[in-house]
Structure 1
Amino acid sequence: MLAVPAQAGANSAVGPDGAAFYDPPASVVPSAHGSLIWSTPLAGAPGLAGATNTKVLYRSVDLQGNAVAVSGVVSVPVGTPPPGGWPVISWAHGTTGTADVCAPSLDSDASYLSHPYTSLTDQTLAQWVSAGYAVLKTDYQGLGTAGEHGYLIGVTEARAVADIVTAARELDPAVGTRWVAAGHSQGGHAAAWSDAQAQAWAPQSTLLGAVALAPASHIGTLYDVTASPLGSLLTGSAGTGGAGTGSAGAADAPSPFTPLILTGAATAGDIHLPGILTPAAANLMPLAQTDCIDQLRQSDWGRLPFSKTFAAGADLSALRSILDANDPSSLKFSTPLFVAQGKADTTVPPTATDAMVSQLQLAGQPVTYKTYPDVDHRSLIAASYTDALAWVNARFER
């Protein structure tokens, strides 16, 4: 059952319908991060079964220190909350794209371009609701709302994941102050960064840990075939969401994730795309502003070999620097991290996750690692649920 609140957004303004929901007047955006701009009730998808569902627009802060509007969905279990309020899962989604049309809160039916992925994810998220958790789903900064999406930029991901927790409690006081970050693929990357940074960013809430499913890592290495043996796994498996796009060992495979990675990196520094791309790749970059990941796979990005993506002799050092700076492998955590990886994953290389976990554990970080034989990228979400639930329940002492 999808429940609709009798008075949705009682603690915020009621947002307008349609595209206007994502486009607030510039004058109302500057304010405390995590505060609500407006909200509107949801009677169906992308709400979750067994919950009171509300679409929200809330405030965060970008890398340049500017206040930005971020959209998302708040799903609160129907019924009486436990003492202290509903425990919280702040969910970070996997790759949908960098175009505004790829924001998961737009997924009301099969016409949404990333519906196969987000609808599959929501089946497992509804199980979290059934287990007594409020589930919050950020769209991230710049997806659906103004500005560029910082794809795989850890700081802005973590801020969006943390700020929706504050916003949800303003919307509904039954939402508790204790929470866990969780996510898949790009969202696994976001969950790891949240584990490292969210407590300091949003100290009014208590972060208990994070769950990272097939987290993106070593993207800088994957874009440099000379750097290490990981480089041989290059672009066909270097992406961070959805199904695989090629053989994990195909060093010159196409990568529909490349325009997303470049778009995200450009939000964190000047990488001068015209100077590093071939004309063919440069001509395809506008697709990142219109297509989602499944459409990029079917476009020429799904056929353009890596050798024809970057100009001969291009200096990729600035790109590599940004990607390395956003790698989760050297993060420091004050709360535990649970990492899960399917061994049949052809999207996020298991060897990359193995290396990430090894680096973190060697540095003394509190990381638990679970692998799943014969489980691919998207199937991991459901396959890991029982283990993730047990781990999260332990964090909440449930």
Structure 2
Amino acid sequence: MIRRAASAVAMIAAVGLLAACSPIQTARLQEDVDSAPGVTAFYTQPDPLPSGEPGSVIRSAPVLGAPPGSVATRILFRSTDLNGRPVVNSGLLVVPDSPAPAGGRTIVSWGHPTTGVAERCAPSRALDPYASVEGLTDFLNRGYAVVYTDYTGMGTAGPDSYLVGDTAGRNILDAARAARDVLGSTVSDRVVLWGHSQGGQAVLFAAQLARSYAPELDVEAAAVAAPATDLASLLRDDIGDISGVTIGSYAFQAYSTVYDEPLTTILTPHAITALPAMNDLCLLTQNKALHTIAQPLVGRFLTSDPETTEPWSGLLAQNTPGGSALAMPLFVAQGESDKLVRPSATDAFVARAKGDGTTVTYDRIPGATHATVALRSLRSLFDWLHSVGVSGTSTSAT
């Protein structure tokens, strides 16, 4: 017990030091946390895996430092990949510590933006696993339970899933199922989907899959900020700089692994050589190292245009959301100063979604960048949830 208490104090101290640290110091603190025996053991999957349905929880443990008035639980749960094969996901569940209302809380399943693809880059393994969740305290204050998956292959072992829409969409829905598994009758079957960037793509696929994959969930609303929609145009817009090379390194490796396609048909030898090192680094805490590797690859990354080169053009199209009406209303936020996901791409997606028959509310935010758009959209997001009759504690807006 004393040893556990000492570990808890050390963790709190590490979190407190983070704001004063340099990027190198932050990375070292993160490595110390990742290497802690308790953390490593939690993310190690049991062998053999226990039987269970998608969303069933394999392991859970309390987590320190939750926002005031809430409690947090780290979870390891079952999901499936795009082919229906069982995979394991890790993630985090954060819930108000007040008594749940009659009928249970509404669940928010959040899709995180790109943090990397290595296991240790997972949000639930971050030094502060709450900081990146846009609107977390706002949702908690309104009575929602918030859950988030790290995606398959992050947090715990599994196949790559970066921008693999059908896998990520299942992960988002199974995280909501896992929340129900942990919390029982204190949560309802009502679900709101919310995602940013890569997480926007995951949420849009989850919204498409919800009726067929998780019919027991009542997905009442889906909301995205600067979603990765037309993947071909995303790569075309960004491949001429470091961000595009980084996205490309994550995406092409994932598609090569998942769809069993050789990288030699799309990437230069220089790019293929650099991929293992790039894909082992996390965004934010290791940006300098990422830039050192990526910069020489700008203009030397691709051998041909993925928009016109098969099978890559087909794979990009397959992982681009849309094409059919969503069963729930959709909120889309886009920053007008976003240099990564360009406003023109989101404009086109919104027009297509409306044409498909989806009910869309579009918030185009002047001055918002890719980094700030989700935060700056929160007021509009909550106004919209109220307008469509969704709240944290009932189906009627209050």
Which TM-score band (shorter chain)?
0.7 to 0.9
Q: For the Cα contact (< 8 Å) 1:99–1:288, is it kept in 2?
A: no
SS of the residue corresponding to residue 135 of structure 2 reads helix
Summarize deviations over 1:237-260 as a string: whole Å, max 9, x none: 8xxxxxxx57xxxxxxx5221111
Q: For the Cα contact (< 8 Å) 1:188–1:214, is it kept in 2?
A: yes
TM-score, with structure 1 as normaliser:
0.82
The alpha carbon displacement at 1:288 in A equals 4.1
Change (3 A) 1:288 1:259: same
Other-structure match for 2:225: 213
Percent of residue pairs identical: 34
Q: For the Cα contact (< 8 Å) 2:58–2:77, is it kept in 1?
A: yes
Other-structure match for 2:259: 269
The alpha carbon displacement at 1:209 in A equals 1.6
Distance 1:288 1:68 in 2: 24
SS of the residue corresponding to residue 249 of structure 2 reads helix
Q: For the Cα contact (< 8 Å) 2:58–2:78, is it kept in 1?
A: yes
Distance 1:93 1:331 in 2: 24
The alpha carbon displacement at 1:222 in A equals 4.0
The alpha carbon displacement at 1:326 in A equals 1.0
Letter in 2 for 1:79: S
Letter in 2 for 1:386: R
Q: Give the alignment partner of residue 203 of structure 1, picking from 211, 215, 230.
A: 215
Letter in 2 for 1:73: L
SS of the residue corresponding to residue 172 of structure 1 reads helix
Q: For the Cα contact (< 8 Å) 1:101–1:144, is it kept in 2?
A: yes
Summarize deviations over 1:172-205 as a string: whole Å, max 9, x none: 1212210111010001111111111123212222
Which aligned pairs between 1:50-199 and structure 2 lie closer than 5 A? 50-109=69-128, 119=131, 121-122=132-133, 124-173=135-184, 174-199=186-211
The alpha carbon displacement at 1:60 in A equals 0.4
SS of the residue corresponding to residue 194 of structure 2 reads strand
Change (3 A) 1:313 1:262: closer
Distance 1:122 1:303 in 2: 33
Change (3 A) 1:313 1:137: closer
Q: For the Cα contact (< 8 Å) 1:89–1:181, is it kept in 2?
A: yes
Letter in 1 for 2:334: Q
Change (3 A) 1:331 1:287: farther
How many residues are paired up?
A: 351
Change (3 A) 1:133 1:32: same
The alpha carbon displacement at 1:319 in A equals 1.4
Other-structure match for 2:303: 311
Change (3 A) 1:327 1:29: farther
Other-structure match for 1:387: 380
- Higher relative helix content: 2
Structure 1 position 298 matched with structure 2 position 302: no
- Cα RMSD (Å) of the superposition? 2.2
Other-structure match for 1:27: 48
Letter in 1 for 2:88: A
Letter in 2 for 1:65: G
TM-score, with structure 2 as normaliser:
0.82
Structure 1 position 321 matched with structure 2 position 317: no
For structure 1, list consecutive stretches of 5 or more residues without a partner in the other structure. Answer: 5-15, 110-114, 224-230, 238-244, 247-253
The alpha carbon displacement at 1:236 in A equals 4.9
Summarize deviations over 1:279-313 as a string: whole Å, max 9, x none: 110111102441013435423214422x3112368
- Which region of structure 1 is more displaced relative to structure 2, 69-78 or 167-176? 167-176
Distance 1:192 1:322 in 2: 17
Change (3 A) 1:256 1:303: farther
The alpha carbon displacement at 1:266 in A equals 2.5
The alpha carbon displacement at 1:270 in A equals 2.7
Distance 1:204 1:313 in 2: 42
Q: For the Cα contact (< 8 Å) 1:150–1:263, is it kept in 2?
A: no
Distance 2:166 2:311 in 1: 18
Q: Give the alignment partner of residue 61 of structure 2, picking from 17, 40, 48.
A: 40
Letter in 1 for 2:378: Y
Q: For the Cα contact (< 8 Å) 1:29–1:68, is it kept in 2?
A: no
Distance 1:312 1:77 in 2: 51
Letter in 2 for 1:39: S
Change (3 A) 1:361 1:66: same
Distance 2:349 2:122 in 1: 28
